[in-house]
Amino acid sequence: LDQTDGEQRIAIVGGGLAGSLLALALARRGHGVDVYERRPDPRRQDGAAGRSINLGLSKRGMQALAMVGLLEQVLARAVVMRGRVIHAPDGSTRYQPYGRDAGEVLHSIDRNELNRLLLDRAEALPGVRLHFEHRLLRADKARRELELDSPRGRLTVRPLWVAGADGAFSCMRRELQHGERADYHQEYLEWGYKELTLAPLADGGSAIELTALHVWPRSHCLFVSHPNLDGSHTLTLFLPHEGEESFATVRTPEQVAALFRRHFPDLQAMLPGLLEQWASHPTGSLITTRTAPWRFDDWAVLLGDACHAVYPFYGQGMNSAFEDCCVLMAALAARPADRAAAFSEYESARRPHTDVLAELSKANFVELRQKVQSPWFIARKRLDLALNRLWPRRWLPLYTMIAHSTMPYGEALARSHRQERLLRTVLACALAVGGVGLAVAALGVPV
Ligand code: FAD
């Protein structure tokens, strides 16, 4: 047993986004925290070999960053995204705002930079110790011990309690659920992804509108891009793993060039280093998981991708992982003398909603690929925003509730269904009485 690790300290397995934020939140409340991270210290590496992978930060994540006093610093390092620019196959573009005003925007932030900032701030607090190259191997629930692989060899520690924030393939989840009546459901998407960088122009400007998320929707492939502060954009291509036009068949320079010529000629012209990037950047897989339980007695609890990995199409994975931290901290504060009850309340407050998020994220894949171009979808979006302008409190588009509010995901979906039913009834009545003109007039909306 490692004698340096007292029994009154909290262990966090995983020093990624959720783990480092939770360490910061716990230490600010005066707890001693040990973070065990499998990888080397990202602050000692040169920025993932020059590549930047960025994420869309929205209201839920912002609320968590505000909780640990870091929101301003993070926003200063982010690029605001006011809406989506949809790129059609013929090169034309269409802009769709994210919300009705300047407050309803997203922020594009470099994942590595955010992680480094969170680790720096956590380490600066007196209670926090960061242990890199420490990989969890086993958790012994009966003895309340963790066994870790470290540069010093095998290590056993006995923390007061453990938070498992070790990502989608969580070892802590497996250990926590071992021997319990546990459910675990995992799905791989048939599509994978590859990240490419669209460089800034020679004068430092951006090749495409900087303050927006860009989408190139095609029925069997999709590009999404997030902006960076230096004017570059991180492009993510989603493509099936197998099949006629897929990562399996698009391999040679000729095949890559043909794919871009056919579907993304405008992007091809802006990507002179495309073939080198294609060959050197890995292909990633996408996974969604649902699981229970998330906790064991008063000793262990899971958060973030460790208990609810989702497809990235709603841009909520990190945001919901950060929201977990807020809910867990609130539950611990409400039940200072009964940690088992706090963990149980945290799981009850979160799990039904992250299950809904998994479904919403799947549905948004179809929206991004196919629906964003359909005239019906565009008209529907406009109507949603118009109704929201008319009745800002009563009518909230689903996207607004998910991205620009902290309403629990399940409540947001239920409310969206209620609104949908109401809209259908009003339209049906108006149409029955006097045709389309009256339907529009009934709503009082300029569609
Ligand atoms: P992770 O960030 O995966 O961190 C887990 C950490 O645990 C890692 O550092 C890992 O090294 C460590 N670890 C693993 N095993 C062990 C072990 N045995 N012992 C010790 N340490 C271990 N989310 C958004 O909110 N907005 C977006 O726009 C967005 N875009 C995305 C785009 C793509 C292509 C993908 C793949 C994801 C995207 N996400 C987005 C999701 C987001 O990246 C994740 O939800 C988020 O990183 C989850 O944070 P986490 O801390 O739970 O897990």
Q: What is the DSSP string of 324-353?
A: HHHHHHHHHHH-TT-HHHHHHHHHHHHHHH
Distance 63 CA to ligand 1 centre (A): 19
**166 plus 204 within the same structural domain:** no
Q: Which of 239, 265, 285 is the last residue of a domain?
A: 285
φ and ψ at residue 84, rounded to 5 degrees? -105, 140
- The answer to whether residue 96 is domain-embedded is no
Return the axis-axis angle of helices 111-124 and 17-28, rounded to nearest 10°: 30
Q: 176 with 43, same domain?
A: yes
List, for residues 146-181, the tens digit of each pLDDT value.
Answer: 999 999 999 999 999 999 999 999 999 999 999 999
Cα 70 to ligand 1 centroid, rounded to whole Å: 19
Is the residue at 224 inside a domain?
yes
Q: Is 171 in the pocket of ligand 1 (CB under 6 A)?
A: yes
Residues 393 and 433 in one domain: yes
- Mutation test of ligand 1: which of 318, 325, 360 has the most ligand atoms closer than 8 Å to its C-beta? 318
Q: Taking the CA atoms of 355, 357, 362 and 367 in sequence, report the sign of the dihedral they define.
A: positive
Q: How far apart are CA 415 and CA 397, in angstroms?
A: 9
293 lies in the same domain as 281: no
* Number of structural domains found in the chain: 3
For residue 318 and ligand 1, the question of a CB distance below 6 A is answered with yes
Residues 6+ away with beta carbon under 8 Å from 152:
none
Of the pLDDT bands very low, low, confident and very high (cuts 50, 70, 90), residue 385 is confident
Q: Indicate whether 135 pLDDT > 90.
A: yes
Residue 95 lies in a domain: no
Range of the domain at 281: 188-285
Could you read off the pLDDT of 272-323 as tens digits, one per residue?
899 999 999 999 999 999 999 999 999 999 999 999 999 999 999 999 999 9
Compute the distance from residue 17 Cα to the ligand 1 centre, in Å: 7
Mean pLDDT computed over 41-46: 86
Which residues, in sequence order, are bridge partners of residue 290? Answer: 185
Cα 310 to chain centroid distance, Å, stands at: 8
- Among 285, 309, 61, residue whose Cα is nearest residue 194: 285
Least confident of 305-319, 355-369, 375-389: 375-389
Does residue 299 sit in the same domain as residue 215? no
Is there a single domain that holds both residue 255 and residue 281?
yes
Which pLDDT belongs to residue 101?
A: 81
What sections of 45-97 are H helices per DSSP? 59-67, 71-76
pLDDT reported for residue 439: 56
132 shares a domain with 63: yes
pLDDT interval class at 430 (50, 70, 90): confident
pLDDT band, residue 238 (cuts 50/70/90): very high
173 and 200 housed in the same domain: no
Q: Calculate the average pLDDT of the chain.
A: 92
**pLDDT recorded at residue 438:** 55
Question: pLDDT tens for residues 56-85?
Answer: 999 999 999 999 999 999 999 999 999 999
Summarize the confidence of residues 369-376 as an average pLDDT. Answer: 76
Q: Are residues 56 and 137 in the same domain?
A: yes
pLDDT score for 17: 98
**3 falls in which pLDDT band (50, 70, 90)?**
very low
CB contact set of 381 (below 8 Å; sequence gap of 6+): 96, 397
Q: Which pLDDT tens digit goes with each residue over 336-349?
A: 999 999 999 999 99
135 lines ligand 1 (CB under 6 A): yes
**Residue 312 Cβ < 6 Å to ligand 1:** yes
Does residue 421 lie within any of the structural domains? yes
- Which of ligand 1's atoms lies nearest the C-alpha of 171? 18
Helices 17-28 and 59-67: crossing angle, nearest 10°? 40
Which has the closest alpha carbon to 262: 313, 224, 219, 212? 219
**Angstrom distance (rounded) from CA 425 to CA 33:** 55
Peptide linkage before 293 cis (omega within 30 of 0)? yes
Nearest-atom index, ligand 1, CA of 148: 19
Q: Do 30 and 118 lie in a common domain?
A: yes
Residue 48 sits in the same domain as residue 165: yes
